[in-house]
Structure 1
Amino acid sequence: MQKKEKIAVVLFNLGGPDSLEAVKPFLFNLFNDPAIITVPNPLRWCLAKFISARRAPFARNIYREIGNKSPLLEQTEAQTRALEEKLNQSGTGDYGCFIAMRYWHPFSDETVSKVKQFNPDRIVLLPLYPQYSVTTTGSSLIDWTKKAKAADLAVPTVMIREYPRDEKFIQAHATLIREALVDISSPGDYRLLFSAHGLPKKVIESGDPYQAQVEQTCAAIIEKLGDTGLEYVTCYQSRVGPLEWIGPSTEDEIDRAGEDGKNLIIVPVAFVSEHSETLVELDIEYREFAEKAGVKDYIRVPALQCQPDFIESLAGLVLKTAG
């Protein structure tokens, strides 16, 4: 009997602090990334130190709202287990799935060590960022490549770059939106807001495809939903700093919905897990903003997490790429 090929699948994600004490170093790692602050060292290091110290007290208050830490790692671990089970059911190889976080544990160097112990024949890199950006997938890839080279992990490696219109990924979103619509008798009274994490305009103007791919995802979801009677808008949240960011902003669209007498259904379209931007920003801060703006009903659709179609999407992407 022929031995099955061993394939390591490395899931890229942002990471999040696992305690209140980890908030400041997590923020430093974020702002010290040259993909985030595009100035050379030592200036970037100094800026990262300053910004992380300044933002840490505010950020700790955010994490206090959700159990004093980010839930991202636990959710990514659940996705990883579900994906590994699905892949090994395919009979096409011996799959091991691993997590490499960009700004907090497990970092790439930790994961490289685990992958070396697994001793794979091939590696598939799978970003949990459906839409490509140099600030997310691109940064994770650079970091992984550097750490793998330093550890002499010389294994054939392929990358899944993006999947903004993957059929099962789109189906997963459509299923969760339909579930939110079940108890709504008049869909025409609602507006669907697809809320994605924003980026500075200069990133997009330099050729980053993120915004275009987010809009592709939203259009594909609307097409999959069919005639629901819902209006929809793609908007962007989480702006920080003085730079001009892509728009429209989620806050502005919430305000406009109030002026238009519309109820809202909010979909986190670029986040596949729950974390501070969904559990605090969307669920608490924007909900309060919507009430003040006169929005009578504010419904937030869950992030995909382990939704079965989404796990099938990831498995299909890996099988196609590894095949």
Structure 2
Amino acid sequence: MPAIDPARHKVAIVLFNLGGPDSPEAIAPFLLNLFRDPAILRVPPFIRPLLARRIARARLKPATDNYALLGGKSPLLDLTREQAAALEAALPEMQAKCFIAMRYWHPMTDEAVKAVKAWAPDHVLLLPLYPQFSTTTTGSSLLAWRQAAVKAGLVAPVTTLCCYPTDPGFIAATTALVRAAYDRARDTLPAKTPLRVLFSAHGLPETIVRRGDPYQWQIEQTVAAVLSAWGEPVDHAVCYQSRATPQKWIDPSTDAEIARAAKDGTAVLVVPIAFVSEHSETLVELDVEYRHLAERLGVPGYFRVPTQNADAAFIASLAGLVRRAMADGPTLCSASGGRLCGSAHGGCPFVPRRHDGRRGTVHA
């Protein structure tokens, strides 16, 4: 296939994200969409609809209360639109246009596919706003995209960027935000009060990780890269938040690490290491719920690093990823080009998989 010249050909950049309700009335269907996803609720198909409704009902009241603190809706779509506009502006040499494909609320994947088809691009680049790959996030979005593209008859060369957990540009941008917040927190605290950095990521059920999902490993790689770029020894821990189902989830949990910090008499700086946009899990779970927990337990200081949003350095890192991915042509690639994950991670997108998600024939 001839190489695509992004200076002369139209490139559709599709930004994948989770999505969030845009009104109080959208909260219930958003939750139902989330838990009906086979990548999220991994139970037999005949059980999933009933169990999804049960979990969605149980979570409706707390979710409604959380979104009420945010004005009744998620800010995620507006922030993703800002990122899209900034990314387009950061690629002046390309005929590039960004499209947003949210997984569980509008604009959903089929809407994005129709918009891309109407624009008639010469090339499509799939760019997740999840730096670390998981079968539950990027994997689910990629499958939804493929199915919607086939249904809509969208035909164009596609480059898929699966992940960028240790991309130097992404790491530099993230480290700058962490270092600046650490310095601000350190200036606020008494000199003798220790400060611990908690790298908090969305959790996963242990069973998903045991089956080969590379997410936890990629989170650890991101944290190691940030600490290396920072270049200073710092007390830190990796932890996980947002447990959503009754199964055992990977640990330690963020609330357990906050309790440990209280016992140790250390202040905490929380880094949302897997999120690149503010939403309910940062603005409510981290800023309200965990802050209250820290205060109740007597943690001597609670601070939080902002997400990247449209931070100039972060957008520049995305632009760099786009340029390198386009240079690879139609393919599946990571930020470094090839496969990042080890052989233990059968959930890596570089592993051929059947339509039912098991090893075998690659998804259509």
Does TM-score exceed 0.5, indicating one fold? yes
Give the alignment of 1:153-164 within 5 angstroms.
153-164=154-165
Runs of 4+ in 1 over 4 A off after TM superposition: 185-188
In the alignment, which residue of structure 2 is the partner of 1:47? 51
Q: Which amino acid aligns with 2:135?
A: V
In the alignment, which residue of structure 1 is the partner of 2:66? 62
> Retained in 2: the 8 A contact 1:263–1:297?
yes
Instruction: Give the SS at the match of 1:132.
Output: coil
Give the alignment of 1:293-312 within 5 angstroms.
293-312=297-316
Structure 1: runs of 5 or more not aligned: none
1:78 Cα deviation (Å)?
0.3
Q: Which amino acid aligns with 1:108?
A: T
More helix by share: 1
Instruction: Give the SS at the match of 2:269.
Output: strand
Deviations 1:14-49 (A, max 9, x none): 000001100000000000000011223332112212
1:77 to 72, 77, 81: 81
In the alignment, which residue of structure 2 is the partner of 1:150? 151
In the alignment, which residue of structure 2 is the partner of 1:205? 210
Q: Which amino acid aligns with 1:197?
A: H
Say if 1:296 and 1:3 are closer, same or farther in 2 by CA, change over 3 A: closer
1:284 paired with 2:288, answer: yes
Q: Which amino acid aligns with 1:116?
A: K
In the alignment, which residue of structure 2 is the partner of 1:166? 167
> Retained in 1: the 8 A contact 2:109–2:144?
yes
1:174 Cα deviation (Å)?
1.0
Q: 2: CA distance between counterparts of 1:15 and 1:241?
A: 19
In the alignment, which residue of structure 2 is the partner of 1:103? 104
> Retained in 2: the 8 A contact 1:124–1:160?
yes
Deviations 1:143-179 (A, max 9, x none): 0100000000011111000000011111111111122
Instruction: Give the SS at the match of 2:126.
Output: strand
1:56 Cα deviation (Å)?
1.1
In the alignment, which residue of structure 1 is the partner of 2:349? none
Q: 2: CA distance between counterparts of 1:187 and 1:109?
A: 55
Q: 1: CA distance between counterparts of 2:234 and 2:297?
A: 20
Instruction: Give the SS at the match of 2:70.
Output: coil
1:3 Cα deviation (Å)?
7.3
Q: How does the TM-score come out when normalised to structure 2?
A: 0.85
Q: How does the TM-score come out when normalised to structure 1?
A: 0.96
Give the alignment of 1:157-196 within 5 angstroms.
157-183=158-184, 184-185=186-187, 186=191, 189-196=194-201
> Retained in 1: the 8 A contact 2:193–2:267?
no
Q: 1: CA distance between counterparts of 2:90 and 2:193?
A: 39
Q: Which moved more, 1:51-60 or 1:308-317?
A: 51-60
In the alignment, which residue of structure 1 is the partner of 2:252? 248
